[in-house]
Amino acid sequence: MQMCTAAVYKTKDFYFGRNLDYEFPYGEEVTITPRNYPFSFRFQGEMKQHYAMIGMAHVADDYPLYYEAVNEKGLGMAGLNFVGNAHYGEKADGKDNVAQFEFIPWILGQCASVKEALRLLEQVNLVNTPFSESLPLAQLHWILADRDEAVTVESILSGIHVYPNPAGVLTNNPPFPEQMFNLNNYMHLSPKDPENCFSDKLSLKTYCRGMGALGLPGDLSSQSRFVRVAFVKLNSVSGDSEEESVSQFFHILGSVDQQKGCSDLGNGNFEMTLYTCCCNGDKGIYYYTTYGNHQITAVDMHREDLEGDRLIPYPLVQKEQILYQN
């Protein structure tokens, strides 16, 4: 059961990204889809022209199966595992029927903002059509964000639900309203040193820094990661330069990074953070690190011909890049 964490962050620019946690990669690559690449949808025909986008995708039969992406207008969307709760239906009359694997390009290809996406979502019916027999449906929910707002989209048995996401983070189970309600249990946490509220009859003192966050979860479960990354993200402080902002974003997602060996799946398999990404939605620059390479690598979509009609893939740099100073 794949586990992931996504977050949004804003300084001078808007940043969107995620950790992808799994036991092995699927050959994903940073993939730019230019404006004239023809998206063929199973029920909606062909979208010959659309907004350009960049993100991480497994390309199958020249089709980008995006895990997450940001379009040229600064709208970002990421799918995260939602096993046991996600539900997709049959084709429905009077609806925009979209296969689950088409959802990200369907939204990012047409929408410049969350507000535009919300109007499109009113007509969407997510259909349980797999890409192929070898690539079955993934059970997902999504975070959709621009520089002004974020929402969570969940397709469950009762239909598609869209929730405002003021925390600007997403993990996996349980459903998003339960994740947000659970934050009530941690309202006492603070980045500041605590005061003695235990008893005025006892002389209790702080004995080290960071005690205001005592009780902040540190395990790898999805509900704990939601609390932890929300606390870290909402209390983050950084400069607004590109270097400072990107560095801080990687530190935010690093707070829930998964190390190989800590989540044992049996048979010699371990869940780990395969990659972390951060996309500057205003500039169209996609930054990433991999489990084996902590150096930040960047791909700028605007350095490519966005009027083209062919996918532009960049294989991931997997081997550790070490800068020797002597």
Catalytic residue numbers?
Answer: 4
Q: Which among 85, 89, 185 is positioned nearest to 128, based on CA atoms?
A: 89
Decide if 98 contacts 127 (C-beta within 8 A). Answer: yes
CA distance 6 to 18: 4
Q: What CA–CA distance (Å, rounded) separates 104 from 44?
A: 14
Residue 132: what are its φ and ψ, rounded to 5°? -160, 175
Q: Give the contacts of 107 (CB within 8 A, at least 6 positions apart).
A: 75, 77, 117, 120, 121, 144
150 pairs with which residues across the strands? 145
In order, the DSSP letters of 118-176 are HHHHTTEEEE---S-SSSPPP-EEEEEE-SS-EEEEEEETTEEEEEE-TT-EE-SSS-H
Distance CA 54, CA 34 (A): 9
